[in-house]
Structure 1
Amino acid sequence: MMTGKRLIISALVLSIIQIGFLSWIIGGRAAILRNGKEVLLKVEPIDPRDLLRGDYILLGYDISRIPVKLIANIPAGKLTADETSLVVRLKKGADGYWQATTAWFGQAPSPAGPDEADIVGKVASGWGLDPNATIAPDYGIERFYLPEGEGMPIQNDMRVRPFGIRVALAANGTAQIKALMDGDKTLFEEPLY
């Protein structure tokens, strides 16, 4: 009799923990979308289709290739990158799109100013650190899911006119896609939940 009661209590506790964990993940994403600093990134088209995973577009940005010369804290004599994070400082350009101004491996030495924002990406090991080279951080915002049948037409339109992605940035540089923009027009907006 005691064993059955303990089993029920254990199952309830485990269920509460699982629900709490899922709520924490969803709440964290929603908090970034609701409260994060908003930046607009110019989209560069990349092949969009994966028949097994549904309609989505793969996104590349100006900040998808960071010139090594922008990285301010490369140790002298270091020739390749280790697997690490890369903080990229962004500033709004005259065209309304945000661009990289400098970058640091690990952490930025100072917080971003009021007209700046930091985005954090992951860098795989092995990238060459030649001053004339570029490295490609993964920001976690390289894929945007669309309603069925919308991926190819949008991908084709991206090749002929400017598209952008509104991104919300948390204080720690974590990014979440907020909306897909066709010029000044919002095409698709991500729900908070």
Structure 2
Amino acid sequence: MRLSADALAGKVPLAWRAFATVVLLSLALLALVQQRASILQTGAEVRLRTVPVDPRDLFRGDYVVFAYEIGTVDAGNASGFRRGEQVYVTLKPGPDGFVRAESVSREKPAPVAGATVIAGRVTSTSACARAEDGRLDCSGGRRRLGVSYGIESYFVPQGQGVAIERTEKARIEVVAAVSPSGDAAIKRLLIDGKPVHSEPPY
């Protein structure tokens, strides 16, 4: 006679079940930490132009929310994108060293010399572009996608969030690491080209 999964689980002492649950959760957490560490250690570095938006979370310490220049992508001839859809954005460095979004696609494109592919999620299918002076350009005639990359929120040491948020946007730079799969993590935060915070791998 076969026992059901519930019956088998019922025969395992409660202490052992609790221990197994803790072990599984610990392994899952360790896997996430290791994945992020791998991105930071081996991912391709890209320089991102940023605009800080939000200074503080009282429950979790200081943080900065960044709006990236690459957060607005010209969809070109592509169409039919939906909010929440995963996309891949090809980044190429401009003359100033900051990367710019060259193209967007649903499938991960083949590697190209000098380019980096980052994975993101569509947040808007009619996004406004940010002009050089920081103002938003919402003029029609172009299909723009708003895209998030999972690196928009960044926690900093207590007391630094407000200072960073008030810093002129042109002085702020983020260096992110991008893995071959397209996952990204913030590696360093710079003001006036000088590091103000570096993220340890662990």
TM-score with structure 2 setting the length:
0.79
The equivalent of 2:7 in structure 1 is none
Residue 97 (structure 1) aligned with residue 98 (structure 2): yes
Residue 153 (structure 1) aligned with residue 163 (structure 2): yes
Structure 1: which 5+ runs fail to align? none
What is the RMSD computed on CA atoms of the aligned residues? 2.3
Q: Distance in 1 between matches of 2:158 and 2:126?
A: 39
Q: Distance in 2 between matches of 1:12 and 1:83?
A: 37
The equivalent of 1:15 in structure 2 is 22
Q: After TM superposition, list the pairs within 5 Å mapping 1:127-146 onto structure 2.
A: 127-128=125-126, 132-146=142-156
TM-score with structure 1 setting the length:
0.83
Q: Structure 1 residues 153 and 9 mapped into 2: Cα distance closer, same or farther (>3 Å)?
A: closer
Amino acid at match of 1:99: R
Q: After TM superposition, list the pairs within 5 Å mapping 1:19-168 onto structure 2.
A: 19-69=26-76, 73-74=78-79, 78=80, 81-104=82-105, 106-108=106-108, 110-124=109-123, 127-128=125-126, 132-159=142-169, 161-168=170-177
> What secondary structure is seen at the aligned counterpart in 2 of 1:137?
strand
Q: Distance in 1 between matches of 2:58 and 2:22?
A: 34
Structure 2: which 5+ runs fail to align? 1-9, 128-139
Amino acid at match of 2:63: Y
Residue 175 (structure 1) aligned with residue 181 (structure 2): no
Q: Structure 1 residues 28 and 100 mapped into 2: Cα distance closer, same or farther (>3 Å)?
A: same
The range that moved more, 23-32 or 132-141, is: 132-141
Q: Structure 1 residues 54 and 15 mapped into 2: Cα distance closer, same or farther (>3 Å)?
A: closer
The equivalent of 1:188 in structure 2 is 197
Q: Give the drift of 1:155.
A: 1.8
Q: Give the drift of 1:4.
A: 8.8
Amino acid at match of 2:40: L
Q: Structure 1 residues 19 and 96 mapped into 2: Cα distance closer, same or farther (>3 Å)?
A: same
Q: Percent identity?
A: 28
Question: Are the counterparts in 2 of residues 91 and 117 from structure 1 also a CA contact under 8 Å?
Answer: yes
The range that moved more, 14-23 or 140-149, is: 14-23
Question: Are the counterparts in 2 of residues 165 and 180 from structure 1 also a CA contact under 8 Å?
Answer: yes
Amino acid at match of 2:201: L
